[in-house]
Amino acid sequence: MPTKHVAVIGGGAAGFFSAITCAEAYPDAQVTIFEKSPKVLSKVRISGGGRCNVTHSCFDPKELATKYPRGSRELRGAFHKWQPLDTINWFQEKGVELKTEEDGRMFPTTDDSQTIIHCLLSSAQKCGIIVRTKTSVKTANRTNRNGFSITDSNNEEYDVTHLIIATGGTASPQKSIAVQLGHTLTQLAPSLFTFNIKDPLIDGLAGLSVSSAQTLFPPTKLKQSGPMLITHWGLSGPAILKLSAWGARDFADRDYAFSFNVNWLGGEMSFERVKELMIQTKKLSSKKLTTTLSPFDLPKRFWLRLLDICSIPSKQWAQVSNTEINAIANKITRSEFRTDGKSVNKDEFVTCGGVSLKEINFKTMQSKLIPNLYFAGEALDIDGITGGFNFQAAWTTGRIAGLSCLAE
Ligand SMILES: Cc1cc2nc3c(=O)[nH]c(=O)nc-3n(C[C@H](O)[C@H](O)[C@H](O)COP(=O)(O)OP(=O)(O)OC[C@H]3O[C@@H](n4cnc5c(N)ncnc54)[C@H](O)[C@@H]3O)c2cc1C
């Protein structure tokens, strides 16, 4: 009979990675994953639009840590132990090749999240991990031998020597096993969501995108850049998702009713520069029509909408007044939008908030409050921006927890 029994609560990316790490490093230990739903790794399955954005090609721990609105400081050290290069090598050793897209996101070459699931499941099976699905852990209590007694939804009780909590984003603090064991949760709020907006500038233009916009939230001076997409319900794309991540708690406090600004050409294109380009067009292409010649790299239908919103009819550039040039430059660089609530992004949605990082030793992922208790993944107050950073945090914290939990 094994003398060490590690229970991993949660069969997601972090749970599997910590369990596999532990079982591979300590073959004599018994490792069991408890998963409340009928299927494990369900977020991996739907992630990245079914392709699973496994990690990001950012190999400098310091730079990588800046991608996390929560957990940045703590992850910096952790990334020295396990970073995207390690993730790539790990999957490669198990026969899974990853490829990098232009924006740095990394996917399996099969473009199929099932490849990652298969890899994790077969690795778990090879090292004898027991996976109990449809088994929700309801309670966890400390025993007097520094172990834990856990009870599942079928009222079965298990005595284990070590516990790894990898339960993902917490929906309700009351049901949190971490809270039962004395840990505290920071304020919970969604992150990586899109904004519901009704505005004549974007109405009916769903599907149009710009490659490099800047979003600004004046009350906190928060600024984010990246592609932006007009959707049926408002605005989406990295420039919006990143703003939602960095402003997650602020936006929750405002009940998702707030105003923000967009520069449709990105932060480098100032009001003055945009004006200059139009004045140049007025001089050099004076006979051309405003509706057929736009000086900017913007979708044609969007440019026409801008002219319409600024009440500028189709006319030769020579006839465009300074007031009209000012109006267009203002709309392009300082469009103001008011959100009418948030909507969940279909591609990515994570929880901001979780187990307080002050209570965790990031060298081992062990609880500072309770011996033999470890944490991994989104259960912690860690979340990253879109691009593979959330899975990387799961792999890193899972790896450290799995390796250190039995290292005496
Ligand atoms: C639609 C979508 C797409 C995404 N795409 C990407 C992407 O491409 N790249 C990226 O980096 N991130 C992506 N993310 C974020 C990423 O999926 C998460 O950050 C990641 O899955 C967190 O892993 P985890 O193991 O910590 O938590 P989870 O994956 O949430 O796993 C936790 C598991 O614990 C189980 N559980 C909870 N409580 C109990 C209990 N008491 N007993 C037993 N089991 C329990 C849950 O059922 C769940 O299966 C996406 C998220 C979503 C929703």
| Span 105-116, average pLDDT | 98
Average pLDDT, the chain: 96
Q: Same domain for 275 and 126?
A: no
38 lies in the same domain as 180: yes
Cβ proximity of 224 and 248 under 8 Å = no
pLDDT number for residue 168: 96
Could you tell me if 198 and 241 lie in one domain? yes
Per-residue pLDDT reduced to its tens digit, 49-78: 999 999 999 999 999 999 999 999 999 999
Do 339 and 369 lie in one domain? The reply is no
Residue 311 and residue 291 share a domain? yes
75 and 153 share a domain? yes
Number of domains in the chain: 2
* % of the chain surpassing 70 pLDDT: 98
Tokens of 168: 């993902």
Q: Which atom of ligand 1 is nearest to the CA of 389?
A: 11
Mutation probe of ligand 1 site: the residue of 70, 194, 348 with most atoms within 8 A of C-beta: 348
pLDDT of residue 175: 82
pLDDT in tens, 124-141: 999 999 999 999 999 999
Over 60: is that where the pLDDT of 121 sits?
A: yes
For ligand 1, say whether the CB of 9 is within 6 Å of any of its atoms: yes
Q: Return the CATH number at 36.
A: 3.50.50.60
In angstroms, the CA 118 to CA 194 distance is 31
Average pLDDT over residues 258-279: 97
Asked if pLDDT for residue 2 goes beyond 70, the answer is: no
Residue burial 66-101, b: 16+ Cβ < 10 Å; e: rest: ebbbbbeebbbebbeebbbebbbebbeeeebebeee
Give mean pLDDT, residues 324-347: 89
Nearest to 3 by CA among 38, 29, 35, 34: 29
Cβ of 43 less than 6 Å from ligand 1: yes
Task: Give the mean pLDDT of 9-26.
Answer: 98
Q: Are residues 275 and 356 in the same domain?
A: no
C-alpha to C-alpha distance for 107 and 100, rounded to whole angstroms:
7
Three-state SS across the chain? Answer: CCCCEEEEECCCHHHHHHHHHHHHHCCCCEEEEECCCCCCCHHHHHHHHHCCCCEECCCCHHHHHCCCCECHHHHHHHHHHCCHHHHHHHHHHCCCCEEECCCCEEEECCCCHHHHHHHHHHHHHHCCCEEECCCCEEEEEECCCCCEEEEECCCCEEEECEEEECCCCCCCHHHCHHHHCCCCECCCEEECEEEECCCCCCCCCCCCEEEEEEEEEHHHCEEEEEEEEECCCEEECHHHHHHHHHCHHHHHHCCCCCEEEEECCCCCCCHHHHHHHHHHHHHHCCCCECCCCCCCCCCHHHHHHHHHHCCCCCCEHHHCCHHHHHHHHHHHHHEEEECCCEEECCCCCEEECCECHHHEECCCCEECCCCCEEECHHHECCECCCCCHHHHHHHHHHHHHHHHCCCC
Task: Please tell me the distance between residue 40's alpha carbon and the centre of ligand 1 in angstroms.
Answer: 10
Please check whether residues 123 and 199 belong to one and the same domain.
no
In tens, the pLDDT along 141-194 reads 999 888 999 999 999 999 999 999 999 997 777 789 999 999 999 999 999 999
The verdict on the CB of residue 37 being under 6 Å from ligand 1 is yes
Q: Is 68 left (phi over 0), alpha (psi -120 to 50) or beta?
A: beta
Question: Ligand 1 pocket, 14 CB below 6 A?
Answer: yes
- Mean pLDDT value across residues 380-406: 97
Ligand 1, atom 12: nearest CA belongs to which residue?
Answer: 390
pLDDT band at 341 (very low <50, low <70, confident <90, very high): confident
CB of 347 within 6 A of ligand 1: the answer is yes
Question: How remote is the CA of residue 12 from the centroid of ligand 1, in Å?
Answer: 5
Do residues 133 and 198 share a domain?
no
Q: Is the pLDDT of residue 300 over 90?
A: yes
Residues 180 and 206 in one domain: no
- pLDDT exceeds 70 at position 347: no
Give the position, in ligand 1's atom list, of the atom nearest the Cα of 16. 25
Q: Which of 323, 344, 365 is the last residue of a domain?
A: 344
pLDDT for 127 equals 97
Helix axes 84-93, 389-404, angle to 10 degrees: 70
pLDDT tens digits, residue range 195-210?
999 999 999 999 999 9
- Domain boundary (327, 344, 361) is at 344
Q: What is the pLDDT of residue 264?
A: 98
Residues 125 and 246 in one domain: no
| Cβ count within 10 A of residue 36 | 17
- CB-based contact 228:239 (threshold 8 Å): yes
User: Higher confidence at residue 261 or residue 346?
Assistant: 261
> By residue range, what is the domain housing residue 300?
193-344
Ligand 1 pocket residue status of 137, Cβ below 6 Å:
yes
- 212-218 average pLDDT score: 97
| pTM above threshold 0.85 | yes
- pLDDT at residue 401 is higher than 70: yes
Among 101-110, 273-282, 335-344, which is the least confidently predicted range?
A: 335-344
In angstroms, how far is CA 391 from the centroid of its own chain? 8
Instruction: State residue 144's pLDDT score.
Output: 85
Give the mean model confidence (pLDDT) for residues 209-224: 96
Atom of ligand 1 nearest to the CA of 13: 25
Domain end point (choices 324, 344, 364):
344
One domain for residues 176 and 201: no
Mean local confidence (pLDDT), 324-343: 94
